[in-house]
Structure 1
Amino acid sequence: MIGKEEGIKGYWKGNLPQVIRIIPYSAFQLLAYETYKKLFRGKDAELSVIGRLAAGACAGMTSTFVTYPLDVLRLRLAVDPGFRTMSEVALTMLREEGVASFYYGLGPSLLSIAPYIAVNFCIFDLVKKSLPEKYQQKTQSSLLTAVVSAAVATLMCYPLDTVRRQMQMKGNPYKSVLDAFPGIMQRDGVIGLYRGFVPNALKNLPNSSIRLTTFDFVKRLIAASEKEFQRIVEENRHKQSQDASN
């Protein structure tokens, strides 16, 4: 239907707002995760499973809080045909609903993203760590591990995401998460909590997998570069010592 009416471009309609949101969101999330992992390390410098889960949860909430207004604008732009640009949505929201409208549904969003990122990142790290050394350095292993971790996290946490989207909408009938869960179940049954799961999974799995795989690859690349740099520094220092002694 979309292809016939709007052509190939129709499949990318509204993609720019998503790109504008996802770039800072991913950057904050991955940077925050590495930072929180350092904070949650134990006295032995090891990171426990609980520490990984906590780091992931905190990273997810941090990135969500920082970029949340962009997510609200993106959603409003997608569902309201009366708006054409994000700036138009933002000005209308400011005029009619105030600054607080940019954070409608923040609580459910934090509650939904915290377990998702916690499970996703924790499984990814633990599975990668459990692989034989020769496989840990392979991009294919990172990609497969990322797909598995994203699939498990998506299946576990999707109902919270459903509640989040409901509460972001203007005029939603729910006052809190505790109000939204029984409300959705009463109206649509348990299946209502998983409405849109398949399209979401088809979008989210490659998105999350590519992001984690790319980040893991870049980390390994940086680590290798730092190691090579240290080797060169040591060689130069050794040569200088030899020249001085001669």
Structure 2
Amino acid sequence: MVPQQKFFVPSAAGDNAAAPTGANLYARFAIAGAVCCSITHGAMTPVDVVKTRIQLSPEVYNKGMISGFRQVVAAEGAGALLTGFGPTAAGYFLQGAFKFGGYEFWKKTFIDAIGVEKATENRTAIYLGSSAIAEFFADVALCPLEATRIRLVSQPGFANGLLSGFTKIAKEEGVIKGFYSGFGPILFKQVPYTMAKFVVFELASEKIIHSMGVAKEDLAPSTLTKVNLGAGIIAGTAAAIISQPADTLLSKINKQKGVEGQSVTSRLVTMAGQLGAKGLFLGLGPRIGQFAIYGDIKRVLGATGGVEIAK
């Protein structure tokens, strides 16, 4: 007998309000993801500035994060730590919408296709497949803005902000070469990162709740936030380690124009060889909440229609 689908996460709107469905539901998932990603990545702009400098100029920024902050402020002023805030907030707003909204959509699609019982037995594959597809489309939206951010951070004086930097790259280098030279690295960075993040988060949440001996739907919202935060920290750490080499290459390839006639693949191979294993992991520390924020925003929006396949 196929078990009934279990719906969870109490709504701030109360039990009497009709739960959203269809496009209305997935729009709420997308909004929640967009807001949480924009907030978390935007708030980390100063860290990303220093991390990117460490990755791009290790001969200068080679004394750790704290020293890196001091070096940037001493050389360029405190305002330099907010370089790239516009493209970061805008880019990850779009990326978060496609990633979280897409993940919920594709997860439900796979569950409907094979049934809840079989999906529960193969939930890890469902998590991995759903997150990979969602992240691919998220990266299509993110890549131009991430290229703009890295150019602004790596080349002080390149442009005054998001609009001028975006326009300058488009005019001088074109859409494909200017904005999507880093599409390969961003896929290698973001897709494994997102796959690891979602599957580890889902399994870690399952284990944490199982250890509490209480059904998920019976947990108080504050307890769910703590569970999401704890599982999110575990997931984020694992995902950051997996994706760090591609993150370093992404920063490198977006720093400046490639040599005329040189392919993206050739540039990546050359950069990886020059960096070596140690160099590929530069800036890992700063990459170690989204899920806690995402869960809270979903509750506020009344997005209660997520299907549960955890055991």
Q: Structure 1: how far apart are the matches of 2:75 and 2:162?
A: 24
* CA displacement, residues 200-230 of structure 1 (integer Å, 9 cap, x when unaligned): x2xxx3xxxx22112223445636699xxxx
Count residues in correspondence.
Answer: 217
Output the TM-score relative to the length of structure 1.
Answer: 0.76
Q: Return the match for 2:234 from 138, 148, 173.
A: 148
Q: Return the match for 2:263 from 175, 183, 191.
A: 175
State the 1:74 CA deviation: 1.4
1:91 aligned partner: 167
1:35 aligned partner: 105
Unmatched runs of 5 consecutive residues or more in structure 1? 227-246
Output the TM-score relative to the length of structure 2.
Answer: 0.62
Q: Structure 1: how far apart are the matches of 2:150 and 2:104?
A: 29
1:216 partner amino acid:
G
1:212 aligned partner: 291
SS at 1:171 equivalent: coil
Alignment of 1:227-246 (within 5 A): none
State the 1:16 CA deviation: 2.9
Q: Structure 2: how far apart are the matches of 1:93 and 1:179?
A: 19
Tell me, yes or no, if the aligned pair for 1:57 and 1:114 is still in contact at 8 Å. Answer: yes
> Cα RMSD over matched residues?
2.7
**Kindly, what percent of the aligned residue pairs are identical?**
23
Q: Structure 1: how far apart are the matches of 2:200 and 2:138?
A: 20
1:189 aligned partner: 276
Instruction: Report the more deviating stretch, 39-48 or 129-138.
Output: 129-138
Q: Structure 2: how far apart are the matches of 1:167 and 1:3?
A: 25
Query: Is residue 124 from structure 1 mapped to residue 201 from structure 2 by the alignment?
Result: yes
Tell me, yes or no, if the aligned pair for 1:116 and 1:157 is still in contact at 8 Å. Answer: yes
* Structure 1 residues 52 and 156, CA gap change in structure 2 (3 angstroms): same
Q: Structure 1: how far apart are the matches of 2:163 and 2:79?
A: 22
Q: Structure 1: how far apart are the matches of 2:171 and 2:257?
A: 16
Query: Is residue 134 from structure 1 mapped to residue 214 from structure 2 by the alignment?
Result: yes
State the 1:94 CA deviation: 2.5
User: Which structure dedicates a bigger proportion of its chain to helix?
Assistant: 1
Unmatched runs of 5 consecutive residues or more in structure 2? 1-69, 307-311
Tell me, yes or no, if the aligned pair for 1:18 and 1:74 is still in contact at 8 Å. Answer: yes
Q: Structure 2: how far apart are the matches of 1:225 and 1:92?
A: 43
Tell me, yes or no, if the aligned pair for 1:57 and 1:117 is still in contact at 8 Å. Answer: yes
Q: Structure 2: how far apart are the matches of 1:120 and 1:21?
A: 19
2:96 aligned partner: 26
SS at 2:257 equivalent: coil
2:150 partner amino acid:
L
Larger relative contact order (CA 8 Å, sep ≥ 6) = 2
SS at 2:114 equivalent: coil
State the 1:158 CA deviation: 1.0
Q: Structure 1: how far apart are the matches of 2:195 and 2:256?
A: 29
Tell me, yes or no, if the aligned pair for 2:252 and 2:271 is still in contact at 8 Å. Answer: no
Q: Return the match for 1:66 from 141, 152, 158.
A: 141
Q: Structure 2: how far apart are the matches of 1:4 and 1:120?
A: 36
* Structure 1 residues 93 and 219, CA gap change in structure 2 (3 angstroms): closer
Query: Is residue 44 from structure 1 mapped to residue 115 from structure 2 by the alignment?
Result: yes
Instruction: Determine which structure has more spread, i.e. the larger CA radius of gyration.
Output: 1
2:141 partner amino acid:
V
SS at 1:25 equivalent: helix
